[in-house]
């Protein structure tokens, strides 16, 4: 129970990596506020509770700044503190610079980086009071080795890495650590591209598995990201801050 007594907020908790993170934190003893705009977050919380975790759903859009503020205030009031924030929620779309729209760009930045700024600002104010905290943001290998048709997503994920470094410097005097995680190909709903699960295609199996473009020869699972979050959120992580941990089965070292 590495997180016994800790209070955590996890965004994008209704599915994929966020759901796995909420579950792992709760089963390690944390009380988790599971945030998502999709109603299934309530069902996710029920499943986690049945497994023995303490979790409460918060249903709202993280780009709604006042709703986000109300959530953070409620979590702090009910629990007396906030120890951990996991910025996980993200969206993406597929279009190149010629066909994408400014509206698509702005929506992506609003969810993928602006909401991270806002959530971190709100949570940090509480962490500063107790001189302890962990802010963990999910970026992507797209920030390091981007592909076509994902310019807005890659830009936002790259911004997360830089913002995490700034947070680490600014918040270090208060005992708050800020780190990021860059997942590679993880088997989640976001791996479904234009209706096709990219991790199941013949191309993926040939290039990334058979030819070991991913040295571990498989896509990752959400739980494998969640366990890294547990480390960064715990006392085991005491001298790591401002870093981006790449969790990609070795993918980026083969480029």
Q: What are the catalytic residues? A: 153
- DSSP, collapsed to helix, strand or coil, labels residue 22 as helix
Q: Where are the alpha helices (DSSP H) in the chain?
A: 16-27, 40-50, 65-79, 102-109, 115-130, 151-171, 202-204, 222-233
Nearby residues of 239 by Cβ (< 8 Å), 6 or more positions away = none
Contacts of range 143-147, beta carbons closer than 8 Å, 24 or more positions apart: 143/182, 144/182, 144/246, 144/252, 145/252, 145/255
Asked if 231 contacts 163 with a C-beta cutoff of 8 angstroms, the reply is: no
Partners of residue 10 on adjacent β-strands: 34, 86
Please give the structure tokens belonging to residue 183: 């997942």
């Amino acid at each position: 129970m590495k997180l016994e007594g800790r209070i955590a907020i996890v965004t994008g908790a209704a599915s994929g990596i966020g759901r796995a993170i909420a579950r792992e934190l709760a089963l390690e003893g944390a009380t988790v506020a599971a945030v998502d705009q999709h109603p299934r977050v309530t069902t996710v919380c029920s499943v986690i509770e049945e497994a023995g975790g303490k979790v409460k759903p918060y249903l709202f859009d993280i780009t709604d700044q006042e709703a986000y503020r109300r959530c953070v205030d409620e979590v702090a009031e009910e629990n007396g503190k906030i120890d951990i924030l996991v910025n996980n929620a993200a969206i993406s779309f597929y279009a190149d610079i010629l066909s994408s729209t400014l509206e698509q760009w702005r929506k992506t930045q609003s969810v993928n980086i602006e909401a991270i700024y806002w959530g971190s600002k709100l949570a940090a104010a509480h962490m500063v009071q107790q001189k302890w905290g962990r802010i963990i943001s999910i970026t992507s290998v797209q920030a390091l080795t981007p592909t076509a048709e994902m310019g807005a997503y890659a830009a936002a994920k790259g911004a997360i890495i830089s913002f995490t470094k700034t947070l680490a410097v600014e918040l270090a005097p208060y005992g708050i650590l800020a780190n990021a995680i860059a997942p590679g190909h993880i088997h989640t709903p976001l791996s479904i591209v234009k209706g096709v699960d990219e991790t199941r295609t013949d191309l993926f199996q040939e290039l990334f598995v058979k030819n070991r473009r991913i040295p571990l020869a498989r896509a990752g699972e959400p739980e494998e990201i969640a366990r890294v979050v547990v480390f960064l959120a715990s006392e085991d992580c005491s001298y790591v801050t401002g870093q981006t941990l790449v969790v990609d089965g070795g993918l980026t070292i083969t480029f």
